[in-house]
Amino acid sequence: MALRIMFFALMALGLVGFGTVAWISTRPPPPPPAALAPPPPAKIAVLTASHPLRAGSLLKPEDLTAKEIPVTDRRPDMSADTADARRALSGAMVRRSLSVGEAVRTGDVMRPGDHGFLAAVLQPGMSAVTVAVDATTGAAGLIWPGDHVDLILTQTIQDSALPVGRRVAAETVLSNVRVIAIDQQLVQGAEANGNDTQARTVTLEVTEGQCERVSVATRLGALSLAVRSADAPPPGDEPKPAPNTTWAVDVSPALGAERPAPAQNTIHIYQGSADAKEFKF
């Protein structure tokens, strides 16, 4: 009897073991461990064109934008997005047209100070003339190479015979001319001897006749610059404005007002029975 019980127990254990093995064999194999994803490639920000740039234009801060590219894709002639790189490219001339997002390479620009820069910037038949301005007359340092400006002359006429309102006058000497350089170093923001109160220089692109007008204007009075709108028609396409002079009396009508007659005081002097004598002062 004991042998029979033991026999059935062994059979039961065998069936349990066989069933366990059969169940395990029917389960799908576990998925292999996930492979570790490779780290993302290192990137660097380089300077690119923020909008289409045509050949011959002068770079302004808003013409440049940063674009991230893999470090492995960077070429030696690409400029990293740094403050020094942006400053160095400001005022540089684009030698070939660039599309949006295209990297600005060293060979694509001619920087201020490069040999032949000034001659390359000038349009055929145009000349360069330099005028001195201070921080106020130079539009508070907000003018950049490539901007178009009006050159305004303000002069004081030393003639005491003229009415007060006709002794100071302003007129536009040049209209819609292109700025091609700022300061002696042709870089916006440069300061002579570190003193920002000294006169700065602005170099303008002018015709031969305009160059002579500027030469005379520098001897007559103070010159100041007025920045033109970016939507202004290019030079030559806009109608030529009629000569116009703004006098001091046009700005302040008080200078042309008639002066009131001076008040007079009267005194009567009596001597004895004689008639009184009248004195006015």
pLDDT for res 191: 43
pLDDT for res 195: 47
pLDDT for res 200: 76
Residue 145: closest CA among 106, 177, 102, 108: 177
pLDDT digits (tens, 9 = 90+) for 209-235: 999 999 999 999 999 888 888 766 666
Residues in contact with 209: Cβ distance below 8 Å, sequence separation at least 6, in sequence order: none
Task: Decide: pTM greater than 0.85.
Answer: no
- Cβ atoms within 10 Å of 53's Cβ, excluding its own: 22
pLDDT digits (tens, 9 = 90+) for 40-79: 888 899 999 999 999 888 998 899 999 999 988 889 999 9
pLDDT for res 138: 54
244 within 8 A of 161, measured Cβ to Cβ: no
Letter string b/e over residues 175-199, b meaning 16 or more CB atoms within 10 A of that residue's CB: bbbbbbbbbeebbbeeeeeeeeeee
Q: What are phi and psi of 7, to 5 degrees?
A: -60, -45
pLDDT for res 97: 93
d(Cα 104, Cα 195) in Å, to the nearest integer? 33
Please, what are the averages of pLDDT over each run of 10 residues along the chain (281 residues)?
67 67 68 73 92 91 92 90 90 91 92 81 89 64 84 91 89 92 53 48 91 93 87 60 79 76 65 66 61
Would you state the torsion angle of the CA atoms of residues 31, 32, 36, 38, taken in this order, to the nearest 10 degrees? -100
For the chain, which domains are there? 41-111 (3.90.1210.10), 116-257 (no CATH)
Q: Which amino acid is at 239?
A: P
Residue 58: closest CA among 89, 37, 20: 89
Residues in the chain: 281
pLDDT for res 67: 93
The number of angstroms, rounded, from the C-alpha of 147 to the middle of its chain's C-alpha atoms is: 8
